[in-house]
Amino acid sequence: MAGELFVSDLHLSESRPAANEAFFGFVEGPATRARALYILGDLFEYWIGDDDLATPFHAVIAGFLRRLSTSGVEVHVMHGNRDFLLAQAFCEASGARLLEDPVVVPAGGVPTLLMHGDTLCTRDVDYQAWRSQARSKDWQRRFLERSLQERREAILALRQRSREAVKAKPASIMDVDPGAVEEAFRRHGVARLIHGHTHRPGHHVLEVDGRRCERWVLPDWYGTGGYLATVEGSTPRLVRFS
């Protein structure tokens, strides 16, 4: 079954041993039998720069991916809203290739649009403003110039503010905007989209300009976790860990 596996929103962190153990089991189990593994954002709870590879936990995670990639499985990593500073040194340590967002790849023999998913949440205007700031060269340069400790503190403060902001937002704002989804299908001319970010796993079928399109949303690993598997000639399969 040498197809592709898709995961996102693992949010790996030293303080979440259950998710880490699920990840170790996944990369030593199902992932070894895949042709390619696509991590569509937020592999880590947060990533404050590649120099944080010096943290043993991060080196261990990169090590698990390195062994997988060395064994011949392609490993692709896309930035999420938590780990958008993953860069070259992480790729060298893990053997992963950095994916652009959005990108179209063949999955199960079907051209498939991959996204983290945060750019589809266009109704969350505050978040989109923050995103465009944080993805700017200037912001990243200034952020990375600070010490690891300062960056860690800044991210913790940011997460606290974000948690408070999320509490104050209606759930509908946090989900994808249907118009943005349709626009993505239209712009990329595909009939299948896979993304994460919203923590609302599922399979949605919609019609765009008379074409049947399907959107697969990946599960987060805060709960039991899981992945999507694509194999040529078969319907994608959403697998949840029990």
Partner 1 sequence: MNLRHLWKPLIVLSAAVTSGGALAADPQVDVRTSLGTIRLELYPAKAPRTVENFLQYVKDGHYDGTVFHRVIDGFMIQGGGYDTSNRQKPTRKPIPNEAQSGVKGGLKNEVGTIAMARTADPNSATAQFFINVADNTFLNWGDPRSDGHGYAVFGKVVSGMDVVNKIAKVPTGPGAVAPRDVPRQPVVIESMSVVGGK
Q: Which residues bind partner 1 (CB under 8 A)?
A: 20, 24, 28, 50-51, 53-60, 62-64, 66-67, 70, 85, 87-89, 93, 98, 100-101, 135, 137, 140-141, 144
Judging by DSSP bridges, how do beta strands 237-240 and 226-230 pair with one another? antiparallel
CA 13/CA 57 separation, integer angstroms: 8
* Of the candidates 158, 149, 202, 204, the residue with the CA atom closest to the CA atom of residue 182: 204
Taking the least distance from each CB to partner 1, the nearer of 145 and 207 is: 145
Taking the least distance from each CB to partner 1, the nearer of 53 and 239 is: 53
Minimum CB distance to partner 1, residue 207 (Å): 29
Taking the least distance from each CB to partner 1, the nearer of 31 and 228 is: 31
Taking the least distance from each CB to partner 1, the nearer of 37 and 62 is: 62
Laid out side by side, the sheet with 103-107 consists of 103-107, 110-115, 192-195, 211-217, 202-208
Q: What is the DSSP letter of 34?
A: S
Buried b (16+ CB within 10 A) or exposed e, 93-122: bbbbeebebbeeeebbeeebbbbbbbbbbb
Judging by DSSP bridges, how do beta strands 74-78 and 97-99 pair with one another? parallel
Minimum CB distance to partner 1, residue 147 (Å): 12
Taking the least distance from each CB to partner 1, the nearer of 70 and 234 is: 70
Minimum CB distance to partner 1, residue 236 (Å): 26
Taking the least distance from each CB to partner 1, the nearer of 144 and 239 is: 144
Minimum CB distance to partner 1, residue 72 (Å): 12
Judging by DSSP bridges, how do beta strands 4-7 and 103-107 pair with one another? unpaired
Copy the structure tokens of residue 236: 């994608």
Minimum CB distance to partner 1, residue 170 (Å): 30
Minimum CB distance to partner 1, residue 38 (Å): 16
